[in-house]
Amino acid sequence: MTVLVIGANGRIGRQVCALAAESGVPVRAMVRHRAEEPLFEEQGIDTVQGDLEGDFHEALDGCDQVVFVAGSGPHTSADRTLLVDLHGAVRAIQLAEEAGVSRFIMLSALRASDPLAGPENLRPYLAAKYAADLILQRSTLPHVILRPGKFTDDEPTGLVSTDPDQSVGIDISRGNVALALFAILRNPDIVDREIPLVDGDRPVDAVVG
Catalytic residues: 125
Residue among 62, 69, 35 at smallest CA distance from 49: 35
Outline where the chain has alpha helix (H): 11-22, 37-41, 78-81, 89-99, 123-137, 174-186, 204-208
Q: How many Cα neighbours within 13 Å face the side chain of 130? A: 14
Given a contact cutoff of 8 angstroms between Cβ atoms, the answer to whether 27 and 2 are in contact is yes
CA distance 175 to 160: 11
Given a contact cutoff of 8 angstroms between Cβ atoms, the answer to whether 199 and 173 are in contact is yes
How far, CA to CA in Å, does 166 sit from each of 162, 197, 201? 9, 12, 11
CA distance 187 to 159: 18
User: Could you give the 3-state DSSP secondary structure of residue 151?
Assistant: strand
